[in-house]
Amino acid sequence: MKKTNAELFARAQRVIPGGVNSPVRAFRAVGGTPRFIERAQGAYLWDAEGKRYIDYIGSWGPMILGHGHPAVLEAVQKAAVDGFSFGAPTEREVELAEAIIAQVPGVEQVRLVSSGTEAGMSALRLARGATGRVKIVKFEGCYHGHADALLVKAGSGLATFGHPTSAGVPEDVVKHTLVLEYNNVEQIEQVFATQGDEIACVMIEPIAGNMNFVRASVPFMKRLRELCTQHGTLLVFDEVMTGFRVALGGAQSLYAQRIPGFRPDLSVFGKVIGGGMPLAAFGGSRAVMSLLAPLGPVYQAGTLSGNPVATACGLATLREIARPGFFEALAARTRALVDGLTAAARAAGVPLVGDCEGGMFGFFFADALPQNYGAVLATDKDRFNRYFHAMLERGIYLAPALYEAGFVSAAHSAADIEATVAASAQALRA
């Protein structure tokens, strides 16, 4: 007999804190019962009750090809037969490193790890090791995983639960973390004027996907780059969400089109490069990456790093998305979704604004696109929560919090987008 989502959630809560293994899954922001997913195919998910949803979470970003892509499935099956984990080097991890480097100018070497948190934490340690400095800058509403030093005024799940700085993080650990307003040129200039030579790195989500979808403006990014260069501070791009998702070369390739010679010093990747398996990476110039053990004094390690099944999954995914025309088609579909959602809202007289890049999008119940975390907090949260449930009822699976970006995959058809827009028109009136 089929179990209900509610039954499974009750059972889960007895043995797992909050019934989930990552807080944003818990529906706390929007209320109600999380859907327990039984299977997925293409653009669709099916829950334990057999209900089908069009999936705009895509496992929070990795599933850029949709679920169960045949080439990826075949690569994973083959790799699994050959062995799950060796704890020794493999040719495939070299191939994946080469595939990442081929698309991202400025990244000459990468180290593979297992999660975005691990990649961000390691990049931070490397930046401190490389500069011999302790202070770091991050921005309000940016989430770089749950390493202690970065868990200050973060977005995503922390924003949802109203405590953007986690308990259990010692004051001593975060006293070196300077938190500034996103897109605020004046603030960053002030901080560099007084402490620039003490700052190891500035870490930023170039398109913030953990406070919904907020772009760093080109003038802001240009100034950030100038100040970092001037003061010997490393600019670290957290492209866990945007890497291989907003464009093949990530968000940095988009800024490079607008700012001559632009590139970050270190880049952090995750999600798409693992194709749905636990895999992430950080990379930069050979000179900086050579400071990592075993070559240099900055220690970093992992039993499952470069796992053979995960690398097979990531490599097969990267091969598919590097095909000519892939990103143009994905971007057009995502744009059609955002245009459709905003047009439906206009017709219903509801203030809704949206933005997208490649296969990543966001929307707000507001009159104008927010430029920073404070402005995101000022958007209409109650309306979002009502809308979320009205969409879920209609078989549209959006992220269960307004602080999250959405993701379109290559498996989403024009008909899926049309069905979503039609559901939205109804949901806005519900």
Active-site option among 265, 271, 387, 416: 271
Contact 199, 126 (CB under 8 A): no
DSSP 372: S
Look at residues 171, 177, 167 and name the one whose alpha carbon lies nearest to residue 144.
177
CB 329 → ligand HOZ: shortest distance, Å? 25
Q: How many other C-beta atoms can be found within 10 angstroms of the C-beta atom of residue 175?
A: 12
Look at residues 339, 417, 412 and name the one whose alpha carbon lies nearest to residue 45.
412
Active-site option among 143, 182, 373, 403: 143
Interface with ligand HOZ in residues 388-417 (CB under 6 A): 404
Closest residue to ligand HOZ in the complex (CB): 22
- Asked if residue 156 binds ligand HOZ (CB under 6 A), the reply is yes
CA distance 178 to 299: 24
For tokens 């809202």, the residue is: 345
CB 157 → ligand HOZ: shortest distance, Å? 5
Binding mask of the shown chain, residues 52 to 91, with x at each position contacting ligand HOZ by CB under 6 A:
--------x-------------------------------
- Asked if residue 420 binds ligand HOZ (CB under 6 A), the reply is no
- Number of residues lying near ligand HOZ (CB under 6 A): 8
- Site for ligand HOZ (CB under 6 A): which residue of 4, 22, 190, 229? 22
Three-state secondary structure call for residue 162: coil
Is 143 an annotated catalytic residue? yes
- Asked if residue 237 binds ligand HOZ (CB under 6 A), the reply is no
Active-site option among 53, 135, 153, 238: 238
Element (H, E) at 129: helix 116-131
Contact 271, 61 (CB under 8 A): yes
Is 271 an annotated catalytic residue? yes
CB 404 → ligand HOZ: shortest distance, Å? 5
Look at residues 160, 158, 153 and name the one whose alpha carbon lies nearest to residue 27.
160
Nearer to ligand HOZ, 262 or 388 (CB): 388
CA distance 167 to 2: 39
Interface residues toward ligand HOZ, by CB under 6 A = 22, 24, 60, 143, 156-157, 210, 404
Catalytic residues: 143, 238, 271
